[in-house]
Amino acid sequence: MDDVATSPAPTAPADARWARALVTGASSGIGEAIARQLGAAGTALVLVARSKDRLDALAEEIRERSGVEVEVLPADLADHAALGVVEARVADDNRPIDLLVNNAGYGFNGEFGERPVADEEDEILVNVLALMRLTHAAVRRMTAAGTGGVLNVASTAAFQPAAGSANYSATKAYVLSFSQSVHEEVRSKGVAVTTLCPGLTRTEFQDRGGYDVNAPGFTWQTADEVARAGLDAVARGKAVEVTGWHNKVIATSVRKLPMGAVRFLSTQVTERFS
């Protein structure tokens, strides 16, 4: 993660409509960029991640730069008790959250069966179960209030199976399908549910997951670029935002190909660039 004391000041998103946002996975990468941009726009924050030290440092930076209220809520979303605490905060009517950003998530590089099954289960708990439960808590409160937004971070991996990342692609496909369904259910009730699908983004994700990606420079985006696209999309009430022209081309193309061809091409890309 960049040194929070020297990180460049973010630019506020185009629409600063949110009073208070809760961001999971806020200690690094896309979640950190989203938190900074929201703070710059004057949005009060609740920051959630496992690393209390990182959250404390980020919270102090945002307070000093933007003067907004920032709560720190350390939690491992794979732990049911910790998830329950975050869930209760999302549902709190006294200090309402009007934007939920479900950014926490991770994946592993390697064939299914090579890692302990407990690791695969934790991936599902964070990428799927935690996202679903927090979205549920948010939607119940927001639809009653008649306003709010949910930004669920998926991936371009949601559009195709990927050998070597089977569980990750499957969990992100869930996020994409689930979020679009809920989007249709609640959009007439004043609530926007948006799925953000970034491709290769310069964060700690690749190192943590053991991915050694050797892809052309133009295929990469910064966390700030992805964060801005997601915040703009949920402010507009858009259902799905695929970031980057190259990712849009891929997402559109795979829908028109036979599934066998998608699997073959996905495997070739994985073997070529990892």
Read off the DSSP letter of residue 200. S
pLDDT tens for residues 36-76? 999 999 999 999 999 999 999 999 999 999 999 999 999 99
pLDDT tens for residues 206-225? 445 444 455 555 555 789 99
User: In this predicted structure, what is the pLDDT of residue 245?
Assistant: 63
Is 168 tagged catalytic? yes
CA distances from 104 to 101, 158, 186, 257 (A): 9, 16, 23, 31
Q: Which amino acid is at 135?
A: T
Distance CA 236, CA 230 (A): 10
Q: Could you tell me the fold of the domain covering 20-273?
A: Rossmann fold (3.40.50)
Q: How many CB atoms lie within 10 A of CB 170?
A: 18
Buried b (16+ CB within 10 A) or exposed e, 16-36: eebebbbbbbbbbbbbbbbbb
* Mean pLDDT value across residues 140-154: 97
| Structural tokens at position 189 | 């009730």
Catalytic residue among 106, 168, 174, 211: 168
pLDDT higher than 80, residue 272: no
Q: Where do runs of H (alpha helix) occur along 77-165?
A: 80-91, 117-124, 131-145
What does the domain layout of the chain look like in residue ranges? 20-273
Confidence of residue 108 (pLDDT cuts 50, 70, 90): confident
Distance CA 206, CA 186 (A): 34
Phi first, then psi: give them for residue 179, nearest 5 degrees.
-65, -35
User: In this predicted structure, what is the pLDDT of residue 211?
Assistant: 44
- Report helix, strand or coil for 177: helix
